[in-house]
Chain A
Amino acid sequence: MIAALGLLVGILLGLIFQPDVPPSLEVYLPIAVVAALDAVLGGLRAYLDGIFDDKVFVVSFLSNVFIAAAIVYLGDLLGVGGQLTTGVIVVLGIRIFSNVAAIRRHLFHA
């Protein structure tokens, strides 16, 4: 309940204020979103499994976002930003898919 409320409030805040992202950080925003999505879906799956823990969720969320952005930043410094972004997206994408599959099993029993 609190989670759904928080998501709604966050989306509304973002739409209302529409903060300007500095151009230097603009590159890391999409990868941060994907990493956050992974953490959120992982949390949702854990919740449905009955093993959700707030502390783990918060830490995994922050570390996911930070590490994903850091990897891309490092890749940019080394001149392989595009390739590393692809790698991160692939790994996170696979995790997202398997988490969503687990959630689906829980919700629809199929």
Chain B
Amino acid sequence: MADKPDRRLPEHVTTPLLSLITHQALEEDYRSVAERRAREGAAPEPRRSRVVAGAVIAVFGILISVAAVQNSRNEEVSDAGRATLIERIGESRSGLEDRQARIADLTRENLELSDSLTELATVRQEAVSQMRRLQLGAGYLPATGEGVRVLVNDNPTGDPIQRVTDADLAKLVDGLWEAGAEAIAINDQRLNPLGSIRNVGSAIHVNTFPLTPPYIVRAIGDTRTLQANLLNTTHGARFFSLADQLGFEYSVDRVSELELPAARQRPLSEVVTGTAEQRGDRGVEEDSS
């Protein structure tokens, strides 16, 4: 460029773009047509082309109004969409609040329930231990523990009158219960509240099971007091005096570990389970006693 200063570029190339656009804002054609017409002498414009120009203007009007209408329609649609979205957000928020309130409720309820569960577990534990105590006392379960073993046998003379009878054993057993025995068995026949000691002919039946002498009465209880208490009870004292009178062979031993079997279970035909309130009353009574 520097070595060819004479060379001129056309104006539309050298003019900056924005200036060019501004200069050529009016269509060049208007100018060139006007110049040509001026050269040739002004000719009257035909009427028809005026109408065409008017039609084009009308098309322009249609374009403007259609664009405006379309735009406002779109605006309505997007406005409606926005309103719907805002409404939905509100609904979701209130739903969320409801759920959070429900979470709080459920958490509180959970806490209460777990408290109540702990309470119930304690109650159940107490009930289970009470049930085991009752089962042991009632002869439902085999029992183990220290206790006293009383061995009783008929008078060695063989006199039928000087034999051990159901009444004698019953006295001994009553004495043992009175002295604080917790579980008693005669010759492996565990005694429970429904058990019986009966003479059938010459044989003694315990729990309707015939026994043969010698009779071994085993009682679980406190060995420090059981034997002494037995002698102090009415039934115990009477048993031992009878035994001495009738010449029974007997011996009383303390045993550190006795194993008593479970009692034979008799089906219950009349007793039915009581209601919860009765059980609660009884439980209170037992606890207080």
Contact = CB atoms under 8 A, between A and B. Distances in A.
A36 B26 contact: no
A6 B61 contact: yes
A96 B60 CA distance: 15
A51 B58 contact: no
A15 interface: yes
B51 interface: yes
A10 B57 CA distance: 7
Contacts of B67: 29-30, 32-33
Contacts, number: 141
Interface in B20-73: 21-22, 24-27, 29-31, 33-34, 37, 45, 49-67, 69-71
Contacts of B2: none
Residue of A9, A30, A45, A54 with most chain B CB atoms under a 10 A cut-off? A54
B61 A102 contact: no
B64 A11 contact: yes
Contacts of A74: none
Contacts of A37: 60
A39 B22 CA distance: 14
Contact of B49 (A26, A45, A55): A55
Give the 5 A-B residue pairs with the shortest CB-CB distance, closest first. Answer: A10-B61, A14-B65, A51-B34, A10-B58, A6-B54
Interface of A: 2-3, 5-15, 18-19, 21, 26, 29-30, 32-33, 36-37, 39-40, 42-43, 45-46, 49-62, 65, 91, 94-95, 98-99, 102
Interface of B: 18, 21-22, 24-27, 29-31, 33-34, 37, 45, 49-67, 69-71
14 contacts: A2-B53, A3-B57, A10-B59, A10-B62, A13-B61, A14-B65, A18-B66, A33-B67, A51-B34, A54-B49, A54-B52, A65-B63, A94-B21, A95-B25
